[in-house]
Amino acid sequence: MNKEKSLFTNVFAVAFLIIIGFSIYKVAVSKDNGINLLDKNKVENRVAYRYVNKNVLDENSTYKFGGQAEDSAANIVTSIVADYRLFDTTLEVIVLFISIMGFSMVMPKEKELIKPSSSIIKHWSPILIVFMVMTGFYMFINGHLSPGGGFPAGAILSTAVLLGFLSKTKVPSQKTFKYIEALSGILIFLMGIIAYVINGSFFYNFLEGGRIGNILSGGIIPIFYSLVAFKVASELSSVFYDFYQEGEDYELN
């Protein structure tokens, strides 16, 4: 029985590899529009050329519905991360989710007392938390204009949660973070499906934007980035709760 099972697994693996190899071959030799792998293209047809020559200061540079993906964001890194490699970014979110899920499964749940911190941290941390949350929000709202984006914004927000956690300021409970995380994770994929229904391609940038450089020029990029930021922040914050759950200290005799 065991042998048959392993034989079946091997046959399945070989078939899977053959399918993947055939798809790669098919993509390599295809003669469709766009850039093909085996083409000897001119420099002008490359994606990088359009990025290098992108003029953000021009008054006429607007992003229209159905326009080119390079024009959706003023920040070049964002238009790569949130347009060309959006699948990559989405799957990165899933990778982070799975790693933190595994972490919280492995970690033993122990309740312990969080010691009251010194008065300096206690009095200064609310002021610092306000600035950190402001920086985080700025970073994902302006992710298509200035450096930053979903992941750093989420990390900064979770650092603010950590500071509040250490200084015993009131922070949301772990359950709240889990709800936020689940909700934003569902909304990210819902947005992709809505784009599929509207245009026929997953995560198509379906909102109309204004002049490039304005805050409303990115289409769905600010929405996507805010969802990613909330998801990353709530995931990373729930790590702290896995380490320290407030309760009675088991070490006190």
Partner 1 sequence: MLYAASILSIIMVLAAIWVVLTPNLLQAIIIFALVSLVASALFLFMQAPDVAITEAAIGAGMSTAIFIFSYKRIYKTK
Secondary structure in 3-state letters for 120-132: HHHHHHHHHHHHH
- As measured in angstroms, the least distance from the Cβ of 148 to partner 1 is 6
Residue (147 or 247) nearer to partner 1, CB: 147
Q: Tell how far CA 227 is from the center of its chain.
A: 8
Read out DSSP for 125-180?
HHHHHHHHHHHHHHHHHTTTTSS--HHHHHHHHHHHHHHHHHTT-----HHHHHHH
- As measured in angstroms, the least distance from the Cβ of 117 to partner 1 is 14
Burial of 168 (0-12, 13-18, 19+ CB in 10 A): middle
Integer Cα distance of 112 and 241 in angstroms: 11
What residues line the site for partner 1 (CB under 8 A)?
Answer: 77, 139, 147-149, 151-152, 155-156, 158-159, 162, 236, 239-240, 243-244, 251
Residue (108 or 200) nearer to partner 1, CB: 108
Residue (208 or 242) nearer to partner 1, CB: 242
- As measured in angstroms, the least distance from the Cβ of 163 to partner 1 is 10
- As measured in angstroms, the least distance from the Cβ of 17 to partner 1 is 35
Residue (94 or 198) nearer to partner 1, CB: 94
- As measured in angstroms, the least distance from the Cβ of 13 to partner 1 is 36
- As measured in angstroms, the least distance from the Cβ of 152 to partner 1 is 4
Asked whether the beta carbons of 231 and 181 are under 8 A apart, the reply is yes
Q: Give the single-character DSSP code of 115.
A: P
Structure tokens at 41: 């293209």
Integer Cα distance of 63 and 22 in angstroms: 37
Integer Cα distance of 197 and 186 in angstroms: 16
Residue (149 or 209) nearer to partner 1, CB: 149
